[in-house]
Each structure stands twice: as structure tokens, then as C-alpha cells.
């Protein structure tokens, strides 16, 4: 039997993280299109799952990473994929 404190130590699979990401992304993007920011999705997921932004991004599959990169580009107004330091 796990206690509520055990949630902070739970490890999530990449599939679980991708499912959570896409579900939240899709819901917020459709419902709040005018006010939507990908950074909100990241913060919600990182806080809820107790993971870092880097861990979240590294766990995302290609399609979800694409949503993130497009979202960040829209938020800051610069295509970050064209930066010579982009990995």
C-alpha cells in the first residue's frame, strides 16, 4: 500500500509521460487557444509529476517535442531550431 508521500518518488515511463503531456496539451490548447502557452503545460506536468523540465522534454516522443518547439517559437517569437547551438 502506498502513501501520498510515495507519489514524489514514483518513476513514470516515457509512455505515461507522453500520455499525460498530450492529454493536457490537447485540452488546454483547444479550450484556451487565445491564452495558451506551452510553458504552462510544462509547469503543470513538472509540478504534478515532480520531474524537471529537462526530464520532461527528454521523455517526449517526436510529435510531442514538435508541439513544444513550435510553442516555444510562438511564445518568444524566434525560431529556436534555427539557432546554431540547437541540439
8-21 pLDDT, tens digit per residue, is 567 889 999 999 99
29-59 pLDDT, tens digit per residue, is 888 877 888 988 989 999 989 899 999 999 9
Q: Is the pLDDT of residue 82 over 80?
A: no
- Give SS3 for 42: helix
Exposure string over 38-59, b if 16+ CB within 10 A, otherwise e: bebbbeebeeebebeeeebeeb
- Sign of torsion over alpha carbons 26, 53, 74, 80: negative
Nine-digit cell at 25? 496539451
Separation CA 21–CA 42 (nearest Å) = 8
Amino acid at each position: 500500500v502506498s502513501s501520498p508521500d510515495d507519489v514524489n518518488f514514483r518513476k513514470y515511463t516515457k509512455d505515461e509521460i507522453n500520455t499525460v503531456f498530450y492529454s493536457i496539451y490537447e485540452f488546454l490548447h483547444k479550450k484556451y487557444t487565445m491564452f495558451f502557452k506551452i510553458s504552462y503545460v510544462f509547469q503543470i506536468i513538472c509540478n504534478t509529476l515532480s520531474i524537471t523540465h529537462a526530464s520532461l522534454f527528454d521523455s517526449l516522443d517526436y510529435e510531442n517535442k514538435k508541439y513544444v518547439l513550435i510553442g516555444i517559437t510562438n511564445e518568444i517569437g524566434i525560431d529556436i531550431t534555427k539557432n546554431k547551438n540547437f541540439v
